[in-house]
Amino acid sequence: MPVLSEDSGLHETLALLTSQLRPDSNHREEMGFLRDVFSEKSLSYLMKIHEKLRYYERQSPTPVLHSAMALAEDVMEELQAASVHSDERELLQLLSTPHLRAVLMVHDTVAQKNFDPVLPPLPDNIDEDFEEESVKIVRLVKNKEPLGATIRRDEHSGAVVVARIMRGGAADRSGLVHVGDELREVNGIAVLHKRPDEISQILVCIAYLQGGRSSETQSRGLPRARADLFI
């Protein structure tokens, strides 16, 4: 089998592989598939493009200027202001074509490395001390068991927060509920203006009602309830 040099490109490698494929009684179908793939013209074109890109990547070319579009506009302005000959008129028409203008715009974008989206500026009246609020929805699927967490109302903010988490309970096993988390909704029911004992009763009722309606889980002896906590 011929040996490839270190400078051989991917296109030459595939061409060599194609020439070396031989029918085999045990792998005739697989070999035929590989031969068809390697012989595709589209793959050959892609390999050539890949090699060209790798070549320019190694060369690390730098643009001559970063504003080819602006230069073209200046040239067009000069040509329009003066009496032009046939060659100059042809150049003016060429610079005015949409395709060439699009190529120049792409050139400037690449030369300026202007790839990231432009974000709108921040408003002037933004509070620099503002901290982004983190909100999450926690879904707990459990048996007829307590949530395994106690709640209380914060004296300063008035929010309902998780005060304690029982080890081994549903909340503890989920790993998603933490002490100090603010509880806002339970299965779509807002709890901001409810007392902690009322919220606890909501959780108990959800466990009883949903567990009693789930015939599939009851047949297995494992009635389950789902609680969506908006924290």
Query: In a structure prediction context, what are the per-residue pLDDT tens digits for the chain, which is 231 residues long?
Result: 444 455 556 666 766 766 666 666 566 777 777 777 777 888 888 888 888 888 877 877 788 888 999 999 999 988 888 777 888 888 889 999 999 999 999 989 888 877 666 677 777 766 555 555 566 666 666 666 667 778 888 888 888 888 888 887 777 887 778 888 888 777 777 877 777 777 777 766 654 333 333 323 232 333 344 445 554
d(CA 20, CA 142): 62
d(CA 125, CA 217): 54
Q: Do residues 186 and 229 make contact, with C-beta atoms less than 8 angstroms apart?
A: yes
Amino acid at 7: D
User: Furthest-apart CA pair in the chain: how many Å?
Assistant: 95
Looking at residue 18, the DSSP 8-state letter turns out to be H
pLDDT value of residue 151: 80
Q: Do residues 147 and 140 make contact, with C-beta atoms less than 8 angstroms apart?
A: yes
Token pair recorded at residue 224: 């389950």
pLDDT value of residue 1: 47
Domain boundaries, the chain: 10-59, 68-111, 137-230
For residue 160, the tally of other CB atoms under 10 A from its CB is 23
pLDDT value of residue 215: 28
pLDDT value of residue 97: 93
Coil vs helix vs strand at 139: strand
* Beta strand residue intervals within the chain, DSSP E: 137-143, 149-153, 160-165, 185-186, 189-190, 224-230
d(CA 174, CA 145): 14
- Structural fold of domain 137-230: Pdz3 Domain (2.30.42)
Return left, alpha or beta for 218; rule: phi > 0 is left, psi -120 to 50 is alpha, else beta.
Answer: alpha
Question: What radius of gyration do the chain's Cα atoms show?
Answer: 35
Burial class from Cβ neighbours inside 10 Å (0-12, 13-18, 19+) for residue 64 reads exposed
127: phi then psi, degrees, rounded to nearest 5: -85, 120
d(CA 37, CA 46): 13
